[in-house]
Amino acid sequence: MPNSIKNKSDELYSQIASVLSKSRQFVVSTVNTTMVRTYFEIGRIIVENEQNGKSRAEYGKETLKNLSERLTKDFGKGFSVENLDRMRFFYRTYANSSTVLTNFELSWSHYLFLMRIENPDERKFYEIEC
């Protein structure tokens, strides 16, 4: 293959590879943001349902177990009782936050870590650092 054709081929490849890489990054970011928003919304729905007269102990034992089984059957992995409880805790932790969750910029893994920080000011510091 002559050098000029190889150089054009390499340039074409580089341009297309760049477009594909940027698109993949966008897709990953969009999927992550959608997942975090979805988990926040699931947590909100669970909390609002829970506040309609059910005690936490009763709710945690039966309703989350039933919900987990049905969601797992219909939507696959990721809806264990433990994960549903995390989504509920996620909502409770961030429901009144005005800055961080409006953009949902961090990954679910980040939020799982940050939720362990009890002090809201300390948690906010680390959110900004992320």
12-31: b (≥16 Cβ within 10 Å) or e? eeeeeeeeeeeeeeeeeeee
What is the pTM (predicted TM-score) of this model? 0.78
pLDDT value at residue 98: 58
**Average pLDDT of the residues in 101-119:** 85
pLDDT value at residue 8: 82
DSSP string, the chain: --HHHHHHHHHHHHHHHHHHHHHHHHHHHHHHHHHHHHHHHHHHHHHHHHTTT--HHHIIIIIHHHHHHHHHHHH-SS--HHHHHHHHHHHHHHTT-SSHHHHT-S-HHHHHHHTT---HHHHHHHHHH-
pLDDT value at residue 3: 77
Higher-scoring residue by pLDDT: 129, 16: 16
Judged against a pLDDT cut of 70, whether residue 115 lies above it is answered with yes
Judged against a pLDDT cut of 70, whether residue 2 lies above it is answered with yes
> What are the pLDDT digits (tens) for 18-32?
999 999 999 998 999
pLDDT value at residue 7: 82
The residue ranges of every structural domain in the chain are: 3-129
> What are the pLDDT digits (tens) for 42-94?
999 999 888 775 555 555 678 899 999 999 999 999 999 999 999 999 999 98
